[in-house]
Structure 1
């Protein structure tokens, strides 16, 4: 057996294990997806006039999302992609905490932090999507990762003129796409009882 065949076998084994987790815990993925969709819509609607209060609100949204990711990752620590799920959760929790404890340090600084978050999360999701391939919904995770990278690029290009309102809009869109991907995974793997 050559190296390529060995890698293909390993990838299929990881995909089978991941599929097992999706089938077994589809309700959790569906619930998490719904939560992210709701949080995303809140982030889109609320921060029209970006202020310190909105930065703190976004910090709580991101922190809660990070706690949900970390909790799920720790609950299913044997799941393939555990490290990436945990990384995304820790990244969200740390960024949310920074939004909450340092809002006065400036919206522009926080906007750059969220831009970094979009870029790192995008890279992590793209990597995770390729690990999930060809499982159903892997393209949704890939698309979500690509949109995260695109949002980071748009914020950098439009800096600083549009950072006041773009940040909340992009965060909300990003969360809605993630929620849709997770909900689709949950619904696809729904087990009839």
Structure 2
């Protein structure tokens, strides 16, 4: 059930939600976001190491899959084993060199944004007869300029960008959870 603005109606929320939990979790997320923002380099490096561990776990899962089905016709044992090896190798490389890994991930992000901006622009110009097609062009320009900005600030941006994005997400996510908890608490009064 939604109100006239399309937002969930709090009166239709399930009972048993504990507002103080939302408020507490939101506050913790905001504090973590502030910490991450003030030490974006450490946050970037820690997240790259974490991604490395995730890649290793994924590689181990591929190895397990390959060996579990090695006798099944058409299972392609060597392809699964090779994928597992590549994941494990990538994970170890990220853990061994998190600064280089963050630079690589940031360069990949920049390239993806540039490619996305170009593709959106081509798509937008094909939609010129559609009302508000300029919003597609605006979206393309923002993606393209963001990608270019990130790319021209490499290698420096490779150390802080991922951590800054994580900090922003933590702060805004925390504020939304906190405000949701306050709304639940006010509803209960």
**Is this a same-fold pair by TM over 0.5?**
no
Place the TM-score, normalised by the shorter chain, in its bin: 0.3 to 0.5
Question: TM-score when scaled to structure 1?
Answer: 0.39
Tell me which structure has the larger Cα radius of gyration: 2
